[in-house]
Amino acid sequence: MKNMEHKDNHDASQKDMKNMKDMKDMPGMDHDTDDHGHMNHDHMSHEHMDHQMDMGHDNHQMAMGDMDHQDMMMHGGHMMHMGNLKQKFWVSIILTIPILLMTSMMGMTKPLLVFPGSTWVVALIGIILFIYGGQPFFSGAKGELQAKKPAMMTLITMGISVAFIYSIYAVVANNLLANQPHVMDFFWELATLIDIMLLGHWVEMNAITSAGSALNDLAKLLPSMAHKLDPQTGAVTDVALTEIQNDDIVLVKAGEKIPADGQVTKGETAVNEAMVTGEAKQVPKAVNDKVVGGSVNGTGTFEMQVTGTGANSFLAQVMQLVQSAQQEKSAQENLADKVAGWLFYAALTVGIIAFVIWYVNSGLTTALPITVTVLIIACPHALGLAVPLVVARSTSIAAKNGLLIRNRNALEQVKDLRYALMDKTGTLTEGNFIVHEYDSLTTDLTAAQALALFAGLEASSSHPLAQGILTAAQHEKIKIPAATNVAQITGVGLKGDIDGTAYEIVSMAQLEKLQLTYDQAKFQTLASAGNSISFLIAKQELLGYVAQGDTVKPQAQQFIAALKAQHITPVMLTGDNLQTAQKVATTLGIDQIHAKLLPQDKAKLVRQFQQKGKVLMIGDGINDAPSLAQADVGIAIGGGTDLAIESADVVLVKSNPNDVTAFLQLAKQTTRKMTENLWWGAGYNIIALPLAAGVLAPIGFILSPMVGALLMSMSTVIVALNALTLKLGRLD
């Protein structure tokens, strides 16, 4: 029997540097379980990935686009092209200045500048401002009405349209109609309404853009040039990074930034991967190790084969995650649109009722201005900013600290969470497996030969268990044979041919299914010690085994305690054996364990727990993809290109489980701020509409249009300031 104790030199950040593939392209959900069944073996080629864009290294705004050229918002289920909001705002301000000089505010002030024909000049400027400045809101309202869901943009469009039409009527009536009492216009209000709403949306877009600012800084980590190596002649040519392609050989000198994702082909070094792991320690790298573009090389010089440029690189996928987050609408945002829809109908109803009552009692000259005032006051300045500013602030705080919120809906789900289901390997443990024991179980093989066969089959995999076996073989200086036809066995492990013989690496559970006899007492003892055990079989004969142990992350115990403090029940879901899972669970204080699970089993358990309450699922982003997608909140924890996983709602750049706790805290504060802002935004309208309609007229009080406008502005300022106060000391 061969016993081993050695330290794996691979950092935890290297546990899963696998190429990603869209979930739709994964037949049978062939993901990983945590033992052998480890379907997480990396047999996915780049050809399986669908790359739709080619990002240059210096495109530092690849996630967010250039907001000064095309800003967008979602309304009515349609992407509304806001156009150049900054330009529209400043042009509208310029057009507003003469309007403010030549008109009165709600009839309460006198124009500062009056000359013959000045009212017609105001009307002309008003027409230009209405068409130019109001265009984004017309587009949004069109989308909402086509979707038969009038909301924010419809309400804004109604307010500025009523103000414009009535003001044009006022100019015509005052200048062309004889014996007509003076009609107050609303050009002052029209101009300021457009200006405030454009400013609000511009501020919102700038705030949202800031969520990607920290990640854009990541893109700047890439060098502008790379040393391309000609494998035939050995000549080195300095080329622009944009000219580097996958499979190119690149030379990286000491102290330089690594230009792209790749695999070391020659040389040894140590790399600072703080951008991936959050820890500024040197990670040893040797032949076949993966490196991430943007990390900093140490004192060694090495050659690497490029495996990730453009859209499939680590940095590009980080950017895409933030971009995706900006295009998601949260449940609270939808609620804000619903509230705006209700206000639209409420304003119409109140306006019509007010018109009828005032027309009957005081005539058209009184009824029309009051009705117009009601419809203008209903314009949702504060409501339109209530949620977006909070989400933008929250997303920005999270992104700067390595919490990438891919789906905003996750923020609102947190307050109702009851269960936290989590994978073991890589989530609660380091994912750095060390071979503690291996041996042959047949007289035809020595222990070393058995380990060599294991290593031959595992040679093409980057799974943590595979890396542990390969490290052990290298440590023992065992020659690794070449394997062919290597393929995953769903839920079992993998298979392949070596020297014409078909071998399989399987789990203990698979041995029982195949009814192969083995020393159960011995292997139960190994498992109870926290080992994951893999078996080698050929022709229905048991040939050998490898027992590997993992280490619990130092932050995991604190993380579990924090979940319990928030009355969230932790549950471990793992493909590993029950004994190993039990040891980890006991150490961390987890009471509920489900072991020997396939990916589909985990997804089924998520559904079962969802019948009892909201479920948070935490996994490594590959083997847990089905359950991450199924859960109310899915968090992928781990570094490297796993950040591109499409099924997770939130991705943690650092493999620190305590960051999950930070996300929960941030989400709860975000939800609280959203609710406060919705009350501020909607509360103003709830009070202002009936007062503007004259509900208190019998006791001699009608809301002054000027006071209504001031209250509206105040509510907008309060909402904006409240959003900016969102701050989480641990994160910001």
How many Å apart are CA 154 and CA 384, to the nearest integer? Answer: 11
Estimate to the nearest angstrom the gap between the alpha carbon of 485 and the chain centroid: 37
CA–CA gap between residue 649 and residue 574 (Å, rounded): 21
**SS3 at position 325:** helix
Contact 447, 2 (CB under 8 A): yes
- What's the number of CA atoms in the CB half-sphere (13 Å) around residue 107? 11
What Rg, from alpha-carbon coordinates, does the chain have?
A: 32
Straight-line distance from the first to the last Cα atom of the chain, in angstroms, rounded to the nearest whole number? 53
Give the whole-angstrom CA distance, residue 270 versus residue 250.
17
Q: Whose structure tokens read 């709602």?
A: 649
Residues assigned a catalytic role: 423
Please name every residue paired with 495 in a beta bridge, in sequence order, or none if there are none: 487, 504
Q: What is the DSSP string of 550-589?
A: --B-TTHHHHHHHHHHTT-EEEEE-SS-HHHHHHHHHHHT
Interatomic CA distance for residues 645 and 183, integer angstroms: 61
Q: Which residues of 570-589 are buried (b: 16+ CB within 10 A; e: fewer)?
A: bbbbbbbbbbbbbbbbeebe
- Nearest 5 degrees, angle CA 426-CA 431-CA 432? 160
> What's the distance, CA 703 to chain centroid?
45
Distance CA 595, CA 572 (A): 8
Q: Residue 164 and residue 636: Cα distance in Å, rounded?
A: 51
* Contacts of 387 by beta carbon, 8 Å cutoff, 6+ apart: 330, 332, 333, 335, 336, 674, 677, 678
For residue 53, the SS3 value is coil
Tokens encoding 707: 């006071």
Question: Which residues are CB-contacts of 683 (< 8 A; sequence separation ≥ 6)?
Answer: 715
Contact 342, 154 (CB under 8 A): no
CB hemisphere CA count around 152 (13 angstroms): 29
Q: What does the longest C-alpha to C-alpha distance in the chain come to?
A: 117
Please tell me the distance from the alpha carbon of residue 449 to that of residue 446, in angstroms, as a whole number. 5
Beta-bridged to residue 49, according to DSSP, are none
Q: With CA atoms as reference, report the closest residue to 602 among 24, 49, 40, 44.
A: 40
